[in-house]
Structure formats: C-alpha cells, structure tokens
Chains A and B, each alone.
Chain A
Amino acid sequence: MMESFLMLFAQYDIPRAFLVNIELTLWSALFSMVLGTVLVMMRISPISSLRTVAGGYVEFFKNMPLTIIMVFMVLGAFGQLKLSFSDTFATNFFWLAVTGLSLYTAAFVCESLRSGINTVPLGQAEAARALGLGFMQSATEIILPQAFRGSVAPLGNTLIALLKNSTVAAAASVSTETSSLMSEMIEYHPDVIVSIFMIFAFGYVILIIPIGMLTTYLSNKLAVRR
C-alpha cells in the first residue's frame, strides 16, 4: 500500500496539479470579486437599465451549467470566434478557463453581496441620506463596507465552490489540473484506482478545511454586532 503511494508520488507531480487548480481559483476569485461588486452596485443603483442588466446577468449564469460555459470558451469563443489570450496553447486554455470561471462565479458573488446588503439595517441607509450623502457616497462608505462584513460566510462558500469547480477546467482543455491528472493516472495504474482517488479526494479535503475554518473565524470576527 505504502509502496504504491510512493510510486505514484514519484512518477507523477501531484502537487503541481493542485497548484494549477489553486492558481485557477485565485485568479478567478480576484476577477469574479471585482465583477461581482460592480454587478451588485448596478443592482442596487437608481438606474433601472443597469438594474435590469445586472439582474439578467445573474439569472443567466445561475441557470447555466458551468460545463457548457467552459466548453463554449474553448470550442466557441476560441475555436470559432478566435478569441485568444496567448499563442501557447496551455496558457491560452488556462486563461480561457479563468474567464469562464470568473464570469460564472461573479453571479454568485453578486448574490452573496446582495444577501450581505440585506443584513444592513434600514436605519443605516436612512441615516446616510439624512446626512446628505448621495447614492455613490452612501453605497461605498456606509452600505458596502457593512455588506462585505456581513457576507463573509456566503463569500467563503462561493470560494469553496470555486475551488471545487476549478476541476471543470478539464472541459476547457486545461490538461495539467487535478481531474485530468487523476484520469490519466487511473488509465495507467488501474490496479491502485482507490489509492489514486483517495490521494486527490483528501487533497481537496485538506485544502477546503482551512478555508471553511477561516471563513467561520472571519465571519464571526467581522460580523457587525447589532
């Protein structure tokens, strides 16, 4: 048993595959956070056309399988529309996957932030208006800071889901990430299939537990006590 584990680790660079997933996750987290914040600002703005666009965006991506988005990025956006980030295939597919993941996750970031906004009491916005703050001022200085603190838990959930979803990059031809590597390893070593699966499964458990614990800690620490 031990020998087979050592053999697998010697033969394949498993940590590197996890690193690819972590990179995918971090880049997508960054971009989707930015896009999600913009979307939520649009959703609460007084301008109805922006509200409609943001609402439509969220509804669209919430009801669309991630796999089809990833396939679309490679076969549609790259294959037929020639949208390309780099001449190297591997780099190009990586950034296409990041794009797909970011677009998809931004909808969920927007929903998380909106739930955070709902935790901000009415009085806060009323007080801001009474002080004469305009929409942008009260949004950026009163509402959103409290909303971010209130939405740590759903944002943490979204991050965990994003890490797990990064395996779907396999559908966008990112061949160095974990699910592709696991598939390849099983193909050549079918006799130790359970050990291979356990390596990857526990890899994810180990990655996710700290995120969950950090989220719990932060959401308690940052929650606005009212």
Chain B
Amino acid sequence: MAAKTSTAQSGASASVLFDQPGPKGRRLITVLNWIAGIIVAIVVVLILMRLHNPPDGENQLSWELWKPALESEAWTDFYLPGLLMTVQATVLAVIGSVAFGLVFGIGRLLPNALLRVIAGAVVEFCRAVPVLLLMIFFWRWFAFAGLSNASYWAVVLALVLYNGSVVAELVRSGVGNLPGGQREASLALGLTETQSLMQIEVPQAIVAMLPAAVTQLVVVLKDTALGSIIMYTDLLQESRRLGSMYFNILQTLVVAGVVYFIACWLLSRLAEWLPSRMQQHTAAPAELEPIAPIAAGDASNVNQIAVAREVEERPLRGTPRQYHVHHRGTNASIHNWRRTKYEQGYEPTQPDSQVDPETKRKSRMSSETGKSQN
C-alpha cells in the first residue's frame, strides 16, 4: 500500500511537471533516453575497465580473486558466522531500544515535571552523541571492567541508547498525533491523566509507530557494521579478515555489501507494507519512517516529510487536505499540543477548527475595537 502510494506520488510529481508528450516530444524523449542510457553504459564500462586494469595492480575481475570470496568455505567460515553475529547484535539491540524507548518516551509525557525533565535530558543527549563515540566508550569501559564480550555488549548498548532515544521520540510524537478527543473522552470517563496516558493513548501510539520502528530496524542493522571498528566480529569484520588472507578485500567487501543490501532491502519492504495493516488499529496516522528528528532543542517529529506523505492526490480529485502552519516545518512543537491543536491545528472532525492564529488574533482585535467603538 505504502509502496504503491510512494510510487504513485513519484509518478504524480513526475507527470505534473510535463504534459503528456506528443509525437515530437515522445521522439525527443526516446532520443534522450538512449543518450542517457549510453552515458550510463559508458560509466559502467569505465568502472569495469578500471577494475580490469588498475594502474600497477592486478586484474580485479580475475576469477583467482573472486573464487576465494565466493566459494562455500568462505560462506561457512566467514560470512555466515559474521552474519549471525550481526543478527544477534541487531535483535538484542532492537529489543533493548524498544524497552528503552517506551520507558523514556512515556517518561517525557508523564504529569510529573521532574521525571519529564530527566527523561528529556537523557533522550536529547543520546540522540546528539554519535553512535561510534558511544561504542568506543563502552568498549573500553567494559574491557577495563573485565567483561568477556566487551565489544558485543558495547555494540548492543550503544545501539540501544541511540535507537532507544529515537523510539522514545516516536512514542511521544505518536501520542501527540492522536486526535485530542481520545484523551478528553478518557478524562471525561474519570480516568486520571496517567491512566489515560497508559491505557488509552500509549497503546494506540505504539500501534501507530510500529512501521517506523521497523524502518528503524534497518538503521540498527546498518549501524551494527560500526562494530567492526571496535573489533566486533560481525559480517564486515569477517569479510575484511577473509579479504586480508587472499588479498581480495574488494571482492569480499562486495559480497558482504550484497548481503547487507538484501537484508536491509527486505526489512524496508516490510516497513512499507506494515502501515496499511496498522492503520486499522489506531486513530493516529501510522507513519512509514521515523521522521529523522532534529536532535537537541527541537521536540518535533512532525515535519515536511510527514506532511508531504499525507498531502496526496485524492482518487476523486477532491482538494487535498490543507495543513496549517502548525503542522509545517519543525515548529510543530508538541509541548502544549493539546492546547495548540484547538488554537491552530486542524481537526478532521471539526473543519472549522482550522484557523490561522494570525488572522484569528487580528479578527479578535478588530472585533474588540469594534466593540469599544460601540
């Protein structure tokens, strides 16, 4: 579904830019198509020639170099054990970061101000520090502490902290994107703020953020490759070891790259398929991607990408949904979102709620001045 929408969108943005070409235009496009195809082919040939005959090096296309990178011993002794280590770190890191994200994401929404501030500081810090620095720090620290699998735990913990903080933001924005009525209804039924949060809002937010969490899985899988820098024997490290044995690192890296690509690509497809399934269970928009959060100082996950994805052509050619400035850019701070939603946000159930605060202020001022004149 989402894959379809995205291709439909790219198709739409492609087709609106130019008219349906006539015979002349079609001929021109065919010619340009050929020229572009030939240029691409030339680039490919140049790369292959470079591979075939690098200056004072050996032929990189020779079977002597590719054979050790592809034969069955390479898979059983190097790639597959490496892939297993990569998957191990990924799975544990994903479980850990979901737990971390839930705890700190909910922590940032609790009524208690102190807990909110602490959770906020932890999340912002973890989001701003490069993962590699976290990994190196934990690796050295665990090694000094005498932990046996220092690099493994360093990889897992660093990934948990970073991706957990992203998940925390997803939880928070998921709750922020729920229609205000959900919370009001639960408060009206006599639940406390915390009860409403835990029983009504967070469960729906979790369903809404699942597709984004799967996309984040791709990031975790990609980032485990950083572990090779701290000597974690993952797929990348194993392929480097194999390559240094036969002096064919280029070839082993290509094989490892293909494996990484297939794994990540399959996960991405899963993430694109999920939103349509998840949308049935939540009132909040189920989003495909974690909207890469601007770290430190900006609370929002609701930015242009989300807006762009939702503003699409309607099947019956209706006007696309209009979004208020509140949803645009990164000023969509979800501090006070419950209040601002009514002041300036758009509630699908209440079309009249879409009011520009500027015009509203002016109209209020003019009505006030009108009153004073009367």
Interface of chain B, helix or strand or loop or mixed? helix
Given contacts A64-B264, A75-B250, contact A117 B13 (CB under 8 A): yes
Q: Could you tell me the distance in whole angstroms from the C-beta of A159 to the nearest C-beta in chain B?
A: 10
A201 to B18, CA, bound (A): 49
Give the contacts of B46-84 with A (CB-CB under 8 A): 50-51, 54-57, 60
Number of interface residues of A (CB under 8 A): 86
B contact residues around A75 at 8 Å (CB): 240, 243, 249-250, 253
Size range of the interface on B?
35 or more
Tell me whether A71 and B329 are in contact (CB under 8 A).
no
Tell me whether B325 and A80 are in contact (CB under 8 A).
no
Q: Is A175 an interface residue (CB 8 A)?
A: no
A204 to B14, CA, bound (A): 39
B contact residues around A50 at 8 Å (CB): 36
Q: Is B367 an interface residue (CB 8 A)?
A: no
Tell me whether A66 and B222 are in contact (CB under 8 A).
yes
Q: Is A171 an interface residue (CB 8 A)?
A: yes
From A4-12, A28-36, A93-101, A216-224, the one touching the partner chain is: A216-224
Given contacts A71-B236, A81-B54, A219-B330, contact A205 B292 (CB under 8 A): no
Q: Could you tell me the distance in whole angstroms from the C-beta of A66 to the nearest C-beta in chain B?
A: 7
Given contacts A63-B265, A212-B298, contact A204 B330 (CB under 8 A): no
Tell me whether B329 and A216 are in contact (CB under 8 A).
yes
Give the contacts of B1-54 with A (CB-CB under 8 A): 9-10, 12-14, 16-19, 21, 29, 32-33, 36-37, 40, 50-51, 54
Tell me whether B133 and A47 are in contact (CB under 8 A).
no
Q: Is A182 an interface residue (CB 8 A)?
A: yes
A contact residues around B225 at 8 Å (CB): 65-68
A contact residues around B249 at 8 Å (CB): 75-76, 79-80
A152 to B305, CA, bound (A): 11
Which residue in chain B gives the minimum CB-CB distance to A120? B13
Tell me whether B292 and A82 are in contact (CB under 8 A).
no
Q: Could you tell me the distance in whole angstroms from the C-beta of A30 to the nearest C-beta in chain B?
A: 20
Contact partner of A118 among B18, B51, B132, B309, CB < 8 A?
Answer: B309
Contact partner of A129 among B19, B56, B218, CB < 8 A?
Answer: B19
From B123-131, B188-196, B341-349, the one touching the partner chain is: B123-131
Tell me whether A143 and B136 are in contact (CB under 8 A).
no
Q: List 7 A-B contacts (CB under 8 A).
A: A43-B14, A47-B32, A129-B19, A139-B17, A150-B308, A201-B128, A219-B330
B contact residues around A151 at 8 Å (CB): 304
Tell me whether B297 and A216 are in contact (CB under 8 A).
yes
Which residue in chain B gives the minimum CB-CB distance to A48? B33
A contact residues around B12 at 8 Å (CB): 122
A114 to B329, CA, bound (A): 15
A89 to B63, CA, bound (A): 31
Q: Is A20 an interface residue (CB 8 A)?
A: no
A200 to B225, CA, bound (A): 22
A contact residues around B218 at 8 Å (CB): 63
Q: Is A157 an interface residue (CB 8 A)?
A: yes
Contact partner of B141 among A47, A135, A193, A219, CB < 8 A?
Answer: A193
Q: Is A27 an interface residue (CB 8 A)?
A: no
Besides the contacts A71-B236, A212-B298, what 4 more A-B pairs have beta carbons closer than 8 Å? A67-B236, A83-B50, A164-B131, A215-B330
Give the contacts of A181-208 with B (CB-CB under 8 A): 182-183, 186-187, 190, 193, 197, 200-201, 204-205, 208
Q: Is B260 an interface residue (CB 8 A)?
A: yes
Given contacts A68-B225, A80-B54, contact A49 B308 (CB under 8 A): no
Tell me whether A80 and B57 are in contact (CB under 8 A).
yes
Q: Is A103 an interface residue (CB 8 A)?
A: no
B contact residues around A63 at 8 Å (CB): 218, 222, 260-261, 264-265, 268
A67 to B298, CA, bound (A): 28
Q: Could you tell me the distance in whole angstroms from the C-beta of B155 to the nearest C-beta in chain A?
A: 12
Tell me whether A122 and B16 are in contact (CB under 8 A).
yes
Q: Is A138 an interface residue (CB 8 A)?
A: yes
A contact residues around B303 at 8 Å (CB): 153-154, 219
Q: A151-186 interface mask toward B, CB cutoff 8 Å, 1 = contact, 0 = none?
A: 111101110110011011011000000110011001
Tell me whether B250 and A72 are in contact (CB under 8 A).
yes
A contact residues around B295 at 8 Å (CB): 160, 208, 212
Tell me whether A71 and B222 are in contact (CB under 8 A).
no
Give the contacts of A41-95 with B (CB-CB under 8 A): 43-51, 53, 59-60, 62-68, 71-72, 75-76, 79-83
B contact residues around A66 at 8 Å (CB): 222, 225
Q: Is B313 an interface residue (CB 8 A)?
A: yes
Tell me whether A76 and B305 are in contact (CB under 8 A).
no
Which residue in chain B gives the minimum CB-CB distance to A159? B294
A34 to B128, CA, bound (A): 26
Q: Which one of A63, A112, A114, A190 has the greatest number of beta carbons of chain B within 10 Å? A: A63
A contact residues around B331 at 8 Å (CB): 216, 219-220
Q: Is B208 an interface residue (CB 8 A)?
A: no
Given contacts A68-B225, A79-B249, A154-B305, contact A186 B330 (CB under 8 A): no
Q: Is B256 an interface residue (CB 8 A)?
A: yes
B contact residues around A44 at 8 Å (CB): 10, 13-14, 17
